[in-house]
Structure 1
């Protein structure tokens, strides 16, 4: 099995961060609209565009037809979460044993690391 290391761009990292850290999928209800919602919550909109398309093409995000009404679900591919989740910090912030903030994590951006192995 060949190991491929893929370096992610900053917009790709920002798109993957809620999927990895919070395990939220993206619900896209209309084929004509570029608007989707994180975890089907209308208070958390997300743009469906070329960044998400590049993640689908790379095999990091799966596109699933949710029902016959045209709803599409974008979710993290199985087995990808462990490779992206930073195990050093808590959502990009470092804390000491007393729970006090000590700084930003040098290994990730908001809890999502930059390289992917597949």
Structure 2
């Protein structure tokens, strides 16, 4: 029997996070935000070196920084998986259809709001 849609989506998220972590095992430069001071983080001054490098030559995948530990695909995948399970349980109680929109909003609302406010400023 085919898997229910909820289980298929959980499996997809898990496989996707494993693939993304596997691809990120290459050696990349350390992310400059990791050691950026309190002034550089809100002003994004730590990004200037890669912009200058991109100005001088075309950037390659080797030029891209290592992601911060909190932004690894596995961690985000596990967080989304947990939120999806909660959404499925909540929808079972109310006899509604679960949507992926709700877990995505719960996972990224704060970062999205902050980034939106920065862009509007």
TM over 0.5: same fold? no
Greater strand proportion? 1
Q: Give the TM-score normalised by the residue count of structure 2.
A: 0.24
Q: Highest Rg: 1 or 2?
A: 2
Question: What is the TM-score normalised by the length of structure 1?
Answer: 0.25
